[in-house]
Structure 1
């Protein structure tokens, strides 16, 4: 399927579309993700700080079963444009915190389609959709997030993966993660994510051409931030940006890493963080700015 100019023009009609959701920062998702990450967090009572990126446990999609597409996602159209490319991935994002979220907060998220961009890569057409989310509580705006979604064509039989990038070797803090199917299932359940690439091995290998279950981009980002939290107790994030570089699969271990970027910020508040696969190839690149 090629994205011709009339199709792109039609898809760009979604730019400016908005949706609004309300939710409450409740206890059960906090407790469940804490257990999934093997953390020893404070008892989740009203007023307890919601760790950075854990807002992804709220404002969950609730498409009816009859509205689910063949990949396990809601069918195309609605808020997101009906892009006719079959493979969809969370490519990265940028987040800025302005005040804390805590358990018990009543929250609202306003989402806006900011851009729909077409590119041609070695493997065919790529479409990038940029969505901005603004989250508010009773005190005002708490978080602004820019969410990058990439859509790709189905793999061709002779498609070759891009050349990998070696991960940095100067980590100050590191942790080995074993992203087994149970971890992936639990995170899918916590985020009500039906995308079959994360739990349906026959689908992901036979239909999308990958060698194993794909580890969620948001889960890898959450593991990166969790490493920063463990290594810098008492610190909070001001900014976080991340970019998926290479898929991570459940068939091997992975590693999350962090190190102060003293060249960019001698105060030590800016950190370079990244994930790598079992062969040492870079899979996610990110930057953290601490308060």
Structure 2
């Protein structure tokens, strides 16, 4: 992995029309009204500019083989660590948009469970009028689990939320989200692979799906459009038990929201500004 930092500055561009179909797909899986309004809600941009890697280019985990846009990191596990988003203007159905993605940093580290590499990618989404969304996306690559790997007591989620919503995940929800995002990562739909190869107890709920649910909760409760949203994933959520979305207002234009696992552990923590 000596040359992985050479990928800093690597860039790729996608351009496509904003179609209604994707908005209807995410609205359906979130039990929202269909047909959906023709404006892309926060989190809806993840339904566009999707990867189209050939089947023969996919690795054992279902992701495209690394060494193209992302560096060839020789670690088998990959997770969405978090994102920081700024919303400048909405995307709307019928217009053409472009996303420019740039590798901003590649940072190797040593953790309790072995080697880690953090990759930060910046995405800028524009329409014909100008900049719409800027996102910094953190990806973490990790060693495979070992029997003697380090463990720690998970941080507990706050218990002082003013809003609480219980979500019961299931394989169908995860399949549909994988489908609308063309996400072939096997941890979200292949239970045998999850347990035997990656050591998880069940299917992993997508990081961006959790982020989308929290953004929806924040806008619903604050009754204002988001200006920025920052979230960090601490612990995975699985389809074997329910989890809770919670939050509270911190000011007129700010709230915190989070995801608590079935054992009360903090899974995702986020801050929303309006």
Q: TM-score, length-normalised on structure 1?
A: 0.92
Q: Is the 8 A contact 1:95 1:146 kept in 2?
A: yes
The corresponding residue for 2:93 is 103
The corresponding residue for 1:3 is none
The corresponding residue for 1:256 is 245
Q: Is the 8 A contact 1:25 1:58 kept in 2?
A: yes
RMSD of aligned alpha carbons? 1.1
Q: Is the 8 A contact 2:27 2:36 kept in 1?
A: no
Give the Cα–Cα distance (whole angstroms) in 1 for the partners of residues 113 and 244 of structure 2: 28
Q: Does 1:154 align with 2:147?
A: no
1:224-278 deviations in Å (ceiling 9; x for gaps): 1111233233x211000000000111000001111112xxxx4x21111100111
Q: Does 1:236 align with 2:225?
A: yes
Q: Is the 8 A contact 1:92 1:244 kept in 2?
A: yes
Aligned residue pair count: 274
Give the Cα–Cα distance (whole angstroms) in 2 for the partners of residues 228 and 25 of structure 1: 24
C-alpha displacement of 1:160 = 4.2
The corresponding residue for 2:26 is 33
Specify which of 166, 170, 174 is matched with residue 160 of structure 2.
170
Name which of structure 1's ranges 81-90 and 162-171 shifts more when overlaid on structure 2.
162-171
1:150-172 deviations in Å (ceiling 9; x for gaps): 00001111224432111111111
Give the Cα–Cα distance (whole angstroms) in 1 for the partners of residues 75 and 7 of structure 2: 16
Q: Does 1:135 align with 2:125?
A: yes
Q: Does 1:12 align with 2:1?
A: no
The corresponding residue for 1:282 is 266
Q: Does 1:193 align with 2:183?
A: yes
Name the SS of the counterpart of 2:198 in structure 1.
coil
Name the SS of the counterpart of 2:5 in structure 1.
helix
The corresponding residue for 2:48 is 58
Residue ranges of structure 2 left out of the alignment (5+ in a row): none
Name the SS of the counterpart of 1:207 in structure 2.
helix
Give the Cα–Cα distance (whole angstroms) in 1 for the partners of residues 36 and 94 of structure 2: 10
1:32-75 deviations in Å (ceiling 9; x for gaps): 1101001126x446xx3210110000000000111111000111
Q: Is the 8 A contact 1:44 1:103 kept in 2?
A: no
Specify which of 198, 202, 219 is matched with residue 192 of structure 2.
202
1:93-143 deviations in Å (ceiling 9; x for gaps): 100011111111210001110000011110011000000000000101111
Residue ranges of structure 1 left out of the alignment (5+ in a row): 1-6
C-alpha displacement of 1:23 = 1.3
Name the SS of the counterpart of 1:206 in structure 2.
helix
C-alpha displacement of 1:281 = 0.9
Q: Is the 8 A contact 1:174 1:227 kept in 2?
A: no
